[in-house]
Amino acid sequence: MPTMTAPQPLLEKYPEGSVVAQEGLDQETWVVDRAVLKDLARDLRDNSETRFDMMLDLCGVDYPDRGESGGDRFEAVYHLYSMPNNRRLRLKVPLPEGDPQLPSLIEVWKACDWFEREAYDMFGFRFEGHPNLRRLLTHEAFQGHPLRKDYDSTQRWILPDDKVYRPKHLEEFSESAGADTDGDLFERMTLNIGPSHPATHGTFRVMAAIDGETIVASDVEIGYLHRCFEKMAETHTWQQVIPFTDRLNYCSSFINNVGYCRTVEKLLGIEAPPKAVWARTILSEFSRIMDHCVCNGSTLVDTGGLTNFWYLFQPREEIYGLLESVCGARLTVSACRIGGLIQDLPPDFEARCRHLLEIIPPLVDDSERLVVKNRIWLERAVGVAAISGEEAVEWGWTGPCLRASGVGYDVRKAAPYDLYDTVDWEVPVFYGGDIHDRFRVRMAEIRQSLSIIRQLLDRGMPEGPHIVDDPHVALPPKDVAYNQMEAMIYHFKLIMDGIRVPPGEQYDMVEGANGELGFYVISDGGGKPYRIKVRPPCFPIFSTFPYLINGGAVSDAIITLGGLNIVAGELER
Amino acid sequence: MSELPGLKEHPKTVQPHRMTLAERLWLPLFAGMWVTIRHFVKNLFHMSKLPTIQYPEQRRNYSHRFRGHHILTSRPDGSLRCVACFLCATACPADCIHIEAGEDPDVNIEKYPVVYEIEMLRCVFCGYCVDACPEEAIIMSNNYDMAFFNRSQTVAGKDDLVRPYNVDPARLGYRPHYPEEEEQRRRLQQGVVDLVAEARSRQESGEGEREVAAS
């Protein structure tokens, strides 16, 4: 029984052995029997001392070896976070192969909705009590569960027309289409927005039942961009996964690189050299500016404000130039390596950064001046798709969207990484919870990011190497590898076998441009990851979307989508 | 951390923005109008400084680290430096490099690539092949516009990888060493250059984009 960490009365009522603490891991971990899971979850949320108000991530892990030796083959892993106590907890629920069934926690944390559907899809876990347990990322005619280790990933499944999902609660609308049922002269119809629609900024399908201009019921289908990043990662070396992470949130791919590399570095027990950490912080902030510019710019395009789009895309273009001068690519940068950076920084790095600090603020100011007090925009955005802080936390929201609802949670403050605790900056918080405040939060964050970058540049670039000097992790410098036998052998070993990461597991998070971007990695000691789970920040946010748009107009749904900053690459992985 | 709002008690309601009197009277609209007019006039009289680039007549001047189309480098006698060690093919996360090795008549070299193909549609331009190469036999150019008329052209063979950019040093991209940076570094150490001012003047004179003849 874990006694030191949980308040005694909380665990006393559970039978002996049903909640066991697992020692020696990166964070507090309890192995929980599925029979008591639901009660424990409710207690953890409601107990005044624990107050785990947020379900960050739920994923499955498959251990076929354990199954063969008579144990439980599967494990469902929950990552919980208590905002008031700034404390994290991992719950592991072992599940036998024949009967992978566990209670749905959707009544405890609403965020479980899509996460449970994803685990069902990927592993075949059956969540008892889930109201709508069907596949999420793959299609209806898909056979098998792709993230199980015995799934043959060369199989192809075709989706026939008669298997395409048609939501039941919208079907009655199709039947009564064209009818004016409530006598207000507006006809009913069902409207498909997407999968490929210019206003969705990505490929997802929104099915809306509309009465006149108002959305009465809606459903969302995703998975069109699903490429099973997590399965691919299991067949590549640790270093080879980095280009895949670029494609998660492709608007700020550098932050994804940092998040992944930091997690693996923690598992390896190494730290990037000061120069790399310094550059990572600066480039992460530039990426955040870029992402916010894209998000705000495209939200305004959806409302008809095309001018902002031009003003805001100019900084983005210039920042791409900076990233390109560092690593050679603009969008999918792959600029980090485990242990440091891809290459040494160019000599004009600081000059380029300072030049950007000169040109970005006037453009951001201009863009803001166009809309933020403009009545046309205010009437369009204030109060649209509003969500209170409490509800947002229940749904698992993080990032700027949560901070627009009055909850100042930011990973850079709650668990500072890189150099964030050494600079002076604030977390902008607004209380409207609507599109307008999401816009304002992002604009304020751009200014904070600029201030962080300015302080770091004033501090000066640290001397030293750009990557750790450890031949087991980083490739030796080329001129050494050409001339020394030992370095040459390390070079070959690293590329043929990959980095040997010690067995263990690690959850680590960075503040992505739209929330907490977490990586849960498990290593079995080989050259390839055993399991990588990404906690995509926009996944829980988008699961709220059908509830946010109900009752609003169709055009409100479009700007809601823009304002939430949904990036399909990250949502569907 | 603890001083941040909303963490202990999450707000249960929302407080949407209330319009001020000025906003009700549409007054800030004129400030916005002024911004647009200012940009319009500025752009009208300084057409050369427009941020828009007239591609393909004008092109953005990318850095010498750009990860573009690959190049296979040659030895002074014109033979390929590649020794068909398969490291690039192993390091490639996209599995886009296909090599078939043959025996080189020169006993000191042992192997050479009979076939060296890169599937350009699969390639993600991550540069791992350049990092992996122990011979500096594969580097990248700054060519990014690769257009094809049919699928067979999308597989770049030895000829496509050797010929196009090998001769022009201005077209080189991502590689292990950058001689052009040495000069910049040396000038910086002497403290004779203000790179910020240089970047600013480049931006203002519109030199950031170089013009090339459309071929």
Backbone angles phi, psi at A508, to 5 degrees: -140, 150
Give the SS3 label for residue A185: coil
Least confident of A1-10, A351-360, B42-51: A1-10
Residue A451: per-residue pLDDT: 92
Letter for the amino acid at B20? T
Q: Which chain B residues are within 8 Å of A485, Cβ to Cβ?
A: none
What is chain A's mean pLDDT, rounded?
86
Here the tokens at position A32 are 């929980």
Nearest-Cα distance to chain B for A520, in Å, is 21
Closest residue in A to B185 (Cα–Cα):
A347
Region A119-130: mean pLDDT is 89
**Inter-chain touch A373–B5, beta carbons under 8 Å:** no
Q: What confidence tens digit (pLDDT) does each residue in A199-217 have?
A: 777 788 888 888 878 888 8
Predicted confidence band of residue A174 (pLDDT cuts 50, 70, 90): low
Closest residue in B to A392 (Cα–Cα):
B10
Q: Which of A54, A88, A318, A324 to mutate to test the interface with B (most CBs of B within 10 A)?
A: A324
* A304 in contact with chain B, both atoms CB, cutoff 8 A: no
Predicted confidence band of residue A279 (pLDDT cuts 50, 70, 90): very high
Query: What distance in Å separates the CA atoms of residue A353 and residue A475, rounded to the nearest whole number?
Result: 28
Which of B1, B23, B127 has the CB atom closest to A86's CB atom?
Answer: B1
Q: Quick check: B129 and B88 in contact, CB under 8 A?
A: yes
**Inter-chain touch A328–B200, beta carbons under 8 Å:** no
**Inter-chain touch B16–A427, beta carbons under 8 Å:** no
Q: Model pTM? A: 0.88
Chain-centroid distance of CA A180 in Å reads 42
Beta bridge partners of B101: B113
Chain-centroid distance of CA A310 in Å reads 27
Residue B213: per-residue pLDDT: 37
Predicted confidence band of residue A570 (pLDDT cuts 50, 70, 90): confident
Region A417-442: mean pLDDT is 89
What is each CA distance from B203 to A181, A317, B143, B208, in whole angstroms? 61, 13, 22, 6
Query: What distance in Å separates the CA atoms of residue A297 and residue A312, rounded to the nearest whole number?
Result: 6
Q: Quick check: B38 and A362 in contact, CB under 8 A?
A: no
* B132 in contact with chain A, both atoms CB, cutoff 8 A: yes
Closest residue in B to A421 (Cα–Cα):
B1
Query: What distance in Å separates the CA atoms of residue A258 and residue B105, rounded to the nearest whole number?
Result: 47
CA within 13 Å, CB half, B59? 12
Residue A3: per-residue pLDDT: 44
Nearest-Cα distance to chain A for B150, in Å, is 25
Is A548 a residue whose pLDDT tops 60?
yes
Q: Which chain A residues are within 8 Å of B15, Cβ to Cβ?
A: 406, 431-432
Contacts of A199 (CB under 8 A, 6+ apart): A193, A302, A558, A561
Residues 187-246 of A with CB under 8 A from B: 236, 239-244
Q: What confidence tens digit (pLDDT) does each residue in A430-469 have?
A: 988 889 999 999 999 999 999 999 999 998 888 888 888 8
Cβ atoms within 10 Å, residue A465: 17
Q: Which of B10, B123, B124, B200 to mutate to test the interface with A (most CBs of A within 10 A)?
A: B10
Sign of CA dihedral B183, B189, B193, B196: positive
Closest residue in B to A377 (Cα–Cα):
B29
* B163 in contact with chain A, both atoms CB, cutoff 8 A: no
Q: Which chain B residues are within 8 Å of A410, Cβ to Cβ?
A: 4
Inter-axis angle of helices A274-302 and A435-459, nearest 10:
150
Q: Which chain B residues are within 8 Å of A378, Cβ to Cβ?
A: 17, 19, 23
**Inter-chain touch A324–B5, beta carbons under 8 Å:** no
Ramachandran region, residue A441 (left: φ > 0; alpha: ψ -120 to 50; beta: rest): alpha
Nearest-Cα distance to chain B for A565, in Å, is 20
Query: What distance in Å separates the CA atoms of residue A84 and residue A82, rounded to the nearest whole number?
Result: 6
Nearest-Cα distance to chain A for B11, in Å, is 5
Nearest-Cα distance to chain A for B26, in Å, is 6
Q: Which chain A residues are within 8 Å of B19, Cβ to Cβ?
A: 375, 378, 382
**Inter-chain touch B66–A359, beta carbons under 8 Å:** no
Sign of CA dihedral A273, A275, A280, A285: positive
Here the tokens at position A241 are 């996964």
**Inter-chain touch B126–A371, beta carbons under 8 Å:** no
Q: Which helix (H) or strand (E) holds B115?
A: strand B111-119
Q: What confidence tens digit (pLDDT) does each residue in A75-91 have?
A: 899 999 988 888 888 99
What is each CA distance from A504 to A147, A263, A523, A529, B87, in whole angstroms? 19, 12, 5, 11, 29
Nearest-Cα distance to chain A for B214, in Å, is 23
Is A175 a residue whose pLDDT tops 80?
no
Residue-wise DSSP of A269-281: T----HHHHHHHH
Contacts of A374 (CB under 8 A, 6+ apart): B23, B28, B29, B32
Sign of CA dihedral A18, A21, A22, A25: positive
Least confident of A184-198, A278-292, A332-346, B196-210: B196-210
DSSP A475: P
What is chain B's mean pLDDT, rounded?
80
Predicted confidence band of residue A242 (pLDDT cuts 50, 70, 90): very high
Closest residue in B to A354 (Cα–Cα):
B196
Backbone angles phi, psi at A564, to 5 degrees: -80, -10
**Inter-chain touch A432–B14, beta carbons under 8 Å:** yes
What is each CA distance from A243 to A236, A251, A271, in whole angstroms? 11, 14, 21
- The beta-carbon contacts of B176-182 under 8 Å, at least 24 apart in sequence, are B176/A478, B176/B130, B176/B131, B176/B136, B176/B139, B177/A478, B178/A346, B178/B64, B178/B65, B180/B64, B181/A346, B181/A347, B181/B64
Is A285 a residue whose pLDDT tops 90?
yes
Q: Which chain B residues are within 8 Å of A482, Cβ to Cβ?
A: 134
Query: What distance in Å separates the CA atoms of residue B174 and residue B150, rounded to the nearest whole number?
Result: 27
Nearest-Cα distance to chain B for A64, in Å, is 26
* A485 in contact with chain B, both atoms CB, cutoff 8 A: no
How would you class A155 by CB atoms within 10 Å of its CB: exposed for 0-12, middle for 13-18, buried for 19 or more? exposed
Q: Which chain B residues are within 8 Å of A243, Cβ to Cβ?
A: 93-94, 124, 126, 128
**Inter-chain touch B4–A427, beta carbons under 8 Å:** yes
Region A502-507: mean pLDDT is 90
Sign of CA dihedral A296, B8, A109, A549: negative
Q: pLDDT above 70 covers what percent of chain A? A: 95
Is A70 a residue whose pLDDT tops 70?
yes
Contacts of A204 (CB under 8 A, 6+ apart): A194, A195, A220, A221, A222, A224, A542, A566, A568, A571
Regions of chain B short of the pLDDT cut 50: 207-215
Q: Which chain B residues are within 8 Å of A429, Cβ to Cβ?
A: 4-6
**Inter-chain touch A378–B17, beta carbons under 8 Å:** yes
Q: Is the peptide bond before B76 cis (omega within 30 degrees of 0)?
A: no
Letter for the amino acid at A214? T
* B21 in contact with chain A, both atoms CB, cutoff 8 A: no
CA within 13 Å, CB half, A132? 15
Residue A389: per-residue pLDDT: 87
Q: Which of B1, B8, B14 to mutate to test the interface with A (most CBs of A within 10 A)?
A: B14
- List for chain B the helix, strand, coil content (%; round to 5): 30, 15, 50
The answer to whether the complex's ipTM is over 0.95 is no
**Inter-chain touch B93–A244, beta carbons under 8 Å:** yes
**Inter-chain touch A348–B26, beta carbons under 8 Å:** no
* Domains parsed from chain B with CATH numbers: 70-185 (3.30.70.3270)
Q: What confidence tens digit (pLDDT) does each residue in A334-343 have?
A: 899 898 898 8
Residue A339: per-residue pLDDT: 87
Backbone angles phi, psi at A510, to 5 degrees: -125, 165
CA nearest to A44, candidates A4, A91, A77, A3: A91
3-state secondary structure A384-417: CCCCCHHHHHHCCCCCHHHHCCCCCCCHHHHCCC
Residue A6: per-residue pLDDT: 58
Query: What distance in Å separates the CA atoms of residue B136 and residue A482, rounded to the nearest whole number?
Result: 9
Residues 106-165 of A with CB under 8 A from B: none
Sign of CA dihedral B44, B50, B55, B59: positive
Nearest-Cα distance to chain A for B2, in Å, is 8
Least confident of A160-174, A283-297, A507-521, B93-107: A160-174
Closest residue in A to B15 (Cα–Cα):
A432
* A527 in contact with chain B, both atoms CB, cutoff 8 A: no
**Inter-chain touch A243–B91, beta carbons under 8 Å:** no
Question: Number of A:B CB contacts under 8 A?
Answer: 195
**Inter-chain touch B22–A373, beta carbons under 8 Å:** yes
Give the SS3 label for residue B84: coil
Query: What distance in Å separates the CA atoms of residue A547 and residue A550, rounded to the nearest whole number?
Result: 6
Here the tokens at position B69 are 């189309």
What is each CA distance from B94 to A62, A229, B124, in whole angstroms? 25, 13, 7
Closest residue in A to B25 (Cα–Cα):
A375
Residue A172: per-residue pLDDT: 67
Which of B11, B28, B184 has the CB atom closest to A348's CB atom?
Answer: B184
